[in-house]
Amino acid sequence: WPASVEVIDSHTEGEPTRVVIAGWPPPAGGTMAERRADRGARFDHLRRAVVQEPRGHEAVVGALLTPPVEPDSQAGVVFFNNVGYLGMCGHGLIGVVRTLVHLGRWMPDAADGAIRIDTPVGTVGAVVEADGSVCIRNVPSYCHAKDVAVEVPGIGRVVGDVAWGGNWFFLTELPEPPLDLAHVDELTAVTRRILAALRAQGITGADGAEIDHVELSGPPSRSDADGKNFVLCPGGAYDRSPCGTGTSAKMACLYARGALALEAEWRQESITGSRFTGWLTAEGSRVIPHIRGRAFITGRTTLYFDPDDPFRAGIPAS
């Protein structure tokens, strides 16, 4: 155990990111996937301590910075939450870039103005735009399966798409409950039942990959948005932002259905009313999502781990 860990907190369109900047022993591995596995094997107590209560809460996504693994990248990152580790995290990456700028570790006007960051699922890019917003270039995304039916206890037959946006998603629409903050408890309960049914019925992503996000879509509340979503994250919390990997998955599904053209903007509203702007480009046969949003630094904290603290390793996630 280190005596303490230093972090920078931010939020991206409402969703918190906690970037570890000092105190965490570096994970071993020649790839980001190996480093993620090493973290889980040797340092999972620190994951729990940093993001779970009493130092964090269920919505916090952590990010551990590492040296890059690719020669033309500037950093590596492993994202984690209250129950485990993520492949990619769109809002988290925006928060990481804003944190690096805040610390002076990367200047937006350096070189060609872009930064490359290695993640366990591939290298992503980002630029800081003139108004301070961050635009990320995500990993290639795609719709894996259309019109997948799942029988959900208490709800009935639910039909949706399975898609990859850096994490695995089941995307669907329901007539109720409404997509608004007044119904967050109901939305959370419904999406948890859908997620449990997907697992029970063996519905997966490619190569048996576990689907760990559920995204409900509906009409926007804002006049400057094209759709609104509610996203259930792996730890049972809902995403306060429009979800970067979820927006990537959504655009990939729209594109697969001929409902979104390359380069056309998709303005995604979150359950909290915040917004991402996204679009797709092509790289050969692959579709590349781009997501623009804003992040704001909210604090710099030293987290202490007293050996006598009964919750040094956090309160287990429910």
> Which range (128-132, 164-168, 193-197, 258-262) has the least confidence?
128-132
The pLDDT score that the predictor gives to residue 199 is: 97
Find the mean pLDDT for residues 169-178. Answer: 97
The pLDDT score that the predictor gives to residue 87 is: 93
The pLDDT score that the predictor gives to residue 105 is: 85
The pLDDT score that the predictor gives to residue 247 is: 98
Residue 93 confidence (pLDDT) above 90: yes
**pLDDT tens readout for residues 33-74:** 999 999 999 999 999 999 999 999 999 999 999 999 999 999
The angle at the Cα of 316, spanning 314 to 318, to the nearest 5 degrees, equals: 140
**pLDDT tens readout for residues 274-312:** 999 999 999 999 999 999 999 999 999 999 999 999 999
The pLDDT score that the predictor gives to residue 43 is: 94
Nearest to 166 by CA among 279, 244, 238, 63: 244
Token pair recorded at residue 209: 């990959």
In angstroms, the first-to-last Cα distance of the chain is 24
Do you know the residue count of the chain? 318
The pLDDT score that the predictor gives to residue 30 is: 95
- Predicted confidence band of residue 107 (pLDDT cuts 50, 70, 90): confident
Helix pair angle (90-103, 244-256), 10° resolution: 130
C-beta of residue 62 within 8 angstroms of C-beta of residue 210: no
User: What is the number of other CB atoms lying within 10 angstroms of the CB of residue 154?
Assistant: 8
Find the mean pLDDT for residues 127-137. Answer: 94
Nearest to 252 by CA among 179, 120, 95, 143: 143
Token pair recorded at residue 265: 């903007």
Find the mean pLDDT for residues 194-215. Answer: 98
The pLDDT score that the predictor gives to residue 318 is: 66
**Three-class SS of residue 207?**
helix
User: Which position has the higher pLDDT, 280 or 317?
Assistant: 280
Q: Which residues are catalytic?
A: 89, 243
Residue 109 confidence (pLDDT) above 80: no
- Residue that is written with structure tokens 């959370």 in the block: 188
Contact partners, residue 296, CB within 8 Å, separation at least 6: 10, 11, 98
- Predicted confidence band of residue 317 (pLDDT cuts 50, 70, 90): confident
Residue 89 confidence (pLDDT) above 60: yes
C-beta of residue 171 within 8 angstroms of C-beta of residue 253: yes
Instruction: Calculate the alpha carbon distances from 117 to 45, 216, 225 in Å.
Output: 25, 29, 29
The angle at the Cα of 73, spanning 72 to 76, to the nearest 5 degrees, equals: 155
**Percent of the chain scored above 70 by pLDDT?**
98
Contact partners, residue 32, CB within 8 Å, separation at least 6: 66, 69, 76, 77, 78, 118, 119, 120
Average pLDDT, the chain: 96
Cα separation of 303 and 3, whole Å? 9
Contact partners, residue 13, CB within 8 Å, separation at least 6: 91, 240, 241, 242, 270, 272, 274, 275, 276, 293, 294, 295
